[in-house]
């Protein structure tokens, strides 16, 4: 009886085999590599989030420029359209993707006279998190391009003289992709204030 009890005791104290240890290590390694992949993706997304925010800001700035153009007395409603529409007077807003530049002589962003202006930059908070201190970061917007498309609104086959459709697209590259990302902002502008 002692012999049977001893063999049962020996089986309970054997522990893990080498195969079981190797299998558990492979499973653990796969889990850790997957976790590392998620961490790398999160870091990449964090880096592109800043560029996404800048693209949104650049698009909103251009949209506000349209309303500024409408509010100024030196630009008529007829000029709040793209250059080369064939209308008289011609529009002042450029067509196609353009570099992000400071406002030209008319003071309105995205117009034809901006081509001679210097490239635009954005001031970001430095390590202290406060804009306007000595550690601010000046980021040139050379990685960004913007297009402003202004089209008439057609309702039931009739072109509205008082309302226009606005589409602003901002295109930029991130370090994670060889293809550009595009942020698009759409809305309307009316000739009425």
Span 6-37, pLDDT tens digits = 555 555 666 778 888 899 999 999 999 999 98
Interval 57-91: pLDDT, tens: 999 999 998 888 888 877 888 889 998 877 777 88
| pLDDT of 147 strictly over 90 | yes
Is 106 a domain residue? yes
pLDDT of residue 11: 58
Judge whether 116 lies within some domain.
yes
Confirm whether 36 is domain-assigned: no
pLDDT beyond 90 at 174: no
pTM of the predicted model, to two decimals?
0.72
Enclosing domain of residue 173? 53-190
Return the pLDDT at 8.
57
Contact 120, 107 (CB under 8 A): no
Tally the domains of the chain. Answer: 1
């Amino acid at each position: 009886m002692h012999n049977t009890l001893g063999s049962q005791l020996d089986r309970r104290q054997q522990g893990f085999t080498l195969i079981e240890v190797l299998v558990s290590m492979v499973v653990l390694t796969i889990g850790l590599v997957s976790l590392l992949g998620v961490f790398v993706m999160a870091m990449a997304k964090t880096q592109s989030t800043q560029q996404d925010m800048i693209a949104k800001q650049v698009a909103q700035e251009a949209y506000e420029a349209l309303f500024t153009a409408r509010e100024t007395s030196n630009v008529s409603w007829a000029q709040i359209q793209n250059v080369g529409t064939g209308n008289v007077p011609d529009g002042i807003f450029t067509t196609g993707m353009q570099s992000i530049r400071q406002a030209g002589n008319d003071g309105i962003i995205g117009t034809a006279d901006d081509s001679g202006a210097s490239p635009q930059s954005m001031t970001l908070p430095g390590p202290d998190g406060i804009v306007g201190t000595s550690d601010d970061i000046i980021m040139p917007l050379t990685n960004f391009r913007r297009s402003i498309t202004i089209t008439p609104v057609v309702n039931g086959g009739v072109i509205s003289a008082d309302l226009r459709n606005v589409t602003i697209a901002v295109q930029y590259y991130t370090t994670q992709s060889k293809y550009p990302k595009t942020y698009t902002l759409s809305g309307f502008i009316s000739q009425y204030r």
